[in-house]
């Protein structure tokens, strides 16, 4: 490969990813010292284009960062009015009363928001403070200076689709160098993954665990819309096939967010998470709510679920991992945005103190101490046993044992100590021969939709004149190994229908990657049982174009 020369730009802090973690870090740095130079690089076509969250927002992160946010025009208006929790069976549901739930599960004082819109607003606040924000800039490589991370390469365009080498009209992009680099790429960050591997940051911690979250926005009959209502369900249709559940949030303009999460440690490789989501909408309670409405957007994103036990070391020379690049979701609450914001604030404070003291390129140990010992650590530690109990003993045991443990943790002790997570989600996948295939009903086109029709509502787009950003370490594995052993589950776990096994008569089956459809959820990088798929950044601005996700 030819040597590539790039222009360099130097900053005090380079931030990768304009999610709540990265934007909070940028805002806090400028609050502390307006003279610091701070740049935020975002792969989406605009800030918010790749943001997919629930979202019920616990405002504690924003309160700490911008105490006056209520008078600053934030798109955070809908207070939660009603909290419902149901256990579903195929034809009915049982309401679980709120009183046995520990107080931390209560949504009182929380808001139903579009995090994409909250991020757009936060970007405006950051720019007002002098932060430079560049959307459409995929950060594709780390830049090292000796053993320290010194920056990133962003904005490379025009590699040849066939060879991967610089093609006609090639733009090498730039090296953006910083005294410190913050990786706030969200769950399964592609650069964060390299940093975790290179510096062995996961050593001594449990493997990270994940779920796949799929979400649709519906406009529904105003007579059925109840602004501020939050509903969560468990049980049907997943049953014993996988852990997970749904959320339904009533936001402004007669819209509802309908979402479904499937824990990615499922064993049956025949499971089809997207079809479980579609089937869920046919439950009478959900079908009645959506009847006569229309789906206006669709998307998917993995969610980190390992919590306290799975947080890797989060600093290495010159670099810090923020938010869900570490994995800061409180799983029973399905909330990570507040912790992402708090982590951005903590990283900014540590970097500011270091730069003021004349340091650069070292480990920001103060940031890690604050995350583990401060509000984020307290939030995650209390709920650390819920996910391992669920994985080991199933839903009912986790509700009872995990619920009791959350209560006792509120009082300062745990019944179980710290339970460990088992295998990685990839390693949890069982052999196809040991499980029965699952028969999914055909989507009806009214409540449920086939995958490709829905993907059109993610508004995803990738220029075809580039190499596929989904790389196979060994191109033979999908057909030679994954197909016979696991019935090649990529065909089913990808919520955008990117992977196909094409079997034409008289020919050997082929593995096809329709990378143009990818919605950047990262599930393939997580769940491929052979760990053969590597998600890399496509050219900037490629990917979904989410509206108010
Ligand atoms: C279905 C679902 C429901 C959820 N519900 C809730 C909820 O109700 N409440 C709650 O609090 N939390 C919820 N969460 C969790 C919450 O969304 C995350 O905790 C939060 O998004 C983490 O913020 P972040 O800033 O770390 O990452 P993200 O929000 O993922 O932002 C990362 C940003 O970095 C960009 N990026 C990534 N890699 C690169 C790169 N190499 N170059 C340039 N840009 C890059 C991405 O495009 C993205 O814009 C939910 C998550 C999911 C998936
Ligand atoms: S190709 Fe991978 S990252 Fe893209 S949508 Fe499919 S599973 Fe998600």
Q: How far is CA 342 from the centre of its chain?
A: 17
**What DSSP state is assigned to residue 461?**
B
The chain-wide mean pLDDT, for the chain, equals 96
Give me ligand 2 centre to Cα 497, in Å. Answer: 8
Q: What DSSP letter does each residue of 46-106 carry, written as one string? A: STTTT-----EEPTHHHHHH-TTGGGTT-S--EE--EEEEEEE-SS-EEEPPSTTS-GGG-
Q: Kindly state the average pLDDT of the residues 139-162.
A: 97
Helix (H) or strand (E) run with residue 132 in it:
strand 132-134
Q: Is the CB of 496 under 6 A from ligand 2?
A: yes
What would the mean pLDDT of 150-170 be, rounded to a whole number?
Answer: 95
pLDDT digits (tens, 9 = 90+) for 419-430: 999 899 999 999
Which tens digit of pLDDT belongs to each residue from 68-102?
Answer: 999 999 999 999 999 999 999 999 999 988 777 77
pLDDT value, residue 405? 79
Supply 478's token pair: 């999908």
Residue in 519, 543, 544 to alter for ligand 2 test, most ligand atoms within 8 A of Cβ: 519
Question: What fold is seen in the domain 7-69+116-205+312-381?
Answer: FAD/NAD(P)-binding domain (3.50.50)
Q: How far is the CA of 91 from the centre of ligand 1 (A)?
A: 34
Taking the alpha carbons of 333, 334, 337, 343 in that order, is the dihedral positive or negative? positive
pLDDT value at residue 2: 56
Terminus-to-terminus CA distance in the chain, angstroms? 40
Burial of 166 (0-12, 13-18, 19+ CB in 10 A): middle
Backbone angles phi, psi at 452, to 5 degrees: -70, -35
- Percent of the chain exceeding pLDDT 70 equals 99
pLDDT at 243 over 80: yes
Q: Could you tell me the distance, in angstroms and rounded to a whole number, from the CA of residue 470 to the centre of ligand 2?
A: 8
- Please report which confidence band the pLDDT of residue 302 belongs to, taking 50, 70 and 90 as the band edges: very high
> 523 CA to middle of ligand 2, Å?
6
Q: Which two tokens stand for residue 405?
A: 């443990």
Q: Is the CB of 498 under 6 A from ligand 2?
A: yes
Residue 129 CA, ligand 2 centroid: distance in Å: 35
> Per-residue pLDDT for 103 more than 80?
no
Q: Where are the domains of the chain?
A: 7-69+116-205+312-381
pLDDT of residue 137: 97
Smallest CA separation from ligand 1 atom 41, residue: 139
For the CA of 302, the closest atom of ligand 2 is 8
pLDDT of 252 above 60 = yes
Q: Mind listing the pLDDT tens digit for each residue in 184-224?
A: 999 999 999 999 999 999 999 999 999 999 999 999 999 99
Is the CB of 184 within 6 Å of ligand 1? yes
The pLDDT, as a whole number, for residue 87 is 95
Residue the block writes with tokens 């997570």: 421
CA of 325 to the centre of ligand 2 (A): 17
Q: Tell me the HSE value of 381 on the side-chain side, using a 13 A CA sphere.
A: 16
Ligand with the closest atom to the CA of 500:
2
Nearest to 36 by CA among 64, 18, 15, 66: 15
pLDDT at position 464: 93
- Distance CA(446)–CA(285), nearest Å, equals 16
The Å distance, Cα 304 to ligand 1 centre, comes to: 10
Q: How confident is the model at residue 415 (pLDDT cuts 50, 70, 90)?
A: confident
Q: pLDDT tens across 387-405, in order?
A: 988 888 877 777 777 778 7
Mean pLDDT of 470-499: 98
Alpha helices in 189-322 (DSSP H): 190-198, 273-280, 284-290
Pocket residue to mutate for ligand 2, from 500, 514, 521, most atoms within 8 A of Cβ: 521
How confident is the model over 454-480, as a mean pLDDT? 97
pLDDT greater than 80 at residue 21: yes
Q: What is the CA radius of gyration of the chain?
A: 22
Two structure tokens written together for 398:
């986790």
């Amino acid at each position: 490969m030819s040597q590539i020369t790039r222009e360099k730009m130097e900053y005090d802090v380079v931030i990768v990813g304009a999610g709540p973690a990265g934007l909070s870090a940028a805002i806090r740095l400028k609050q502390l010292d307006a003279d610091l130079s701070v740049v935020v690089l975002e792969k989406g076509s605009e800030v918010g284009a790749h943001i997919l969250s629930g979202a019920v927002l616990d405002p504690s992160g924003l309160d700490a960062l911008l105490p006056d946010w209520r008078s600053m025009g934030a798109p955070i208006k809908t207070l939660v009015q009603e909290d419902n929790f149901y256990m579903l069976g195929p034809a009915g549901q049982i309401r679980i009363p709120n009183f046995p739930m520990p107080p931390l599960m209560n949504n009182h004082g929380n808001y139903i928001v579009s995090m994409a819109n909250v991020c757009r607003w936060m970007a405006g606040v950051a720019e007002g403070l002098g932060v430079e924000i560049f959307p459409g800039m995929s950060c594709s490589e780390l830049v090292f200076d000796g053993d320290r991370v010194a920056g990133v390469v962003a904005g490379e365009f025009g590699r040849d689709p066939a060879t991967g080498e610089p093609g006609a009209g090639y733009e090498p992009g730039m090296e953006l160098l910083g005294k410190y680099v913050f990786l706030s790429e969200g769950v399964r960050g592609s650069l964060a993954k390299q940093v975790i591997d290179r510096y062995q940051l996961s050593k001594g911690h449990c493997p990270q665990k994940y779920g796949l979250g799929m979400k649709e926005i519906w406009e529904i009959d105003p007579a059925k819309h109840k602004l501020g209502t939050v509903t969560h369900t468990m049980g049907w249709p997943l049953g014993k096939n996988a852990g997970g559940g749904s959320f339904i949030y009533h936001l402004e303009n007669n819209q509802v967010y309908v979402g479904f999460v499937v824990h990615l440690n499922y064993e049956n490789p025949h499971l089809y998470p997207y079809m479980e989501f579609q089937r869920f909408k046919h439950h009478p309670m959900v079908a009645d709510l959506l009847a006569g409405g229309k789906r206006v957007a669709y998307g998917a994103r993995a969610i980190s679920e390992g919590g306290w036990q799975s947080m890797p070391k989060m600093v290495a020379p010159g670099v810090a991992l923020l938010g869900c690049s570490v994995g800061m979701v409180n799983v029973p609450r399905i909330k990570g945005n507040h912790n992402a914001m708090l982590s951005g604030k903590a990283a900014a404070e540590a970097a500011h103190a270091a730069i003021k003291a004349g340091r650069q390129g070292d480990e920001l140990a103060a940031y890690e101490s604050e995350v583990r010992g401060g509000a984020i650590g307290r939030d995650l530690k209390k709920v650390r046993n819920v996910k391992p109990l669920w994985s080991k003993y199933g839903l009912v045991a986790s509700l009872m044992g995990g619920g009791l443990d959350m209560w006792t943790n509120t009082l300062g002790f745990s019944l179980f100590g710290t339970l460990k997570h088992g295998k990685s989600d990839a390693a949890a996948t069982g052999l196809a021969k040991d499980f029965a295939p699952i028969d999914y009903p055909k989507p009806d086109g009214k409540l449920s939709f086939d995958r490709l029709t829905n993907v059109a509502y993610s508004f995803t787009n990738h220029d075809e004149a580039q190499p596929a950003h989904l790389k196979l370490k060994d191109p033979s594995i999908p057909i030679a190994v994954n197909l016979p052993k696991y019935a090649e589950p990529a065909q089913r776990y990808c919520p955008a229908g990117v992977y196909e096994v094409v079997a034409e008569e008289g020919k050997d089956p082929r593995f096809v990657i329709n990378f143009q459809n990818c919605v950047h959820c990262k599930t393939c990088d997580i769940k491929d049982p052979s760990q053969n798929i590597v998600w890399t950044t496509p050219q900037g601005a490629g990917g979904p174009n989410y509206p108010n996700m």
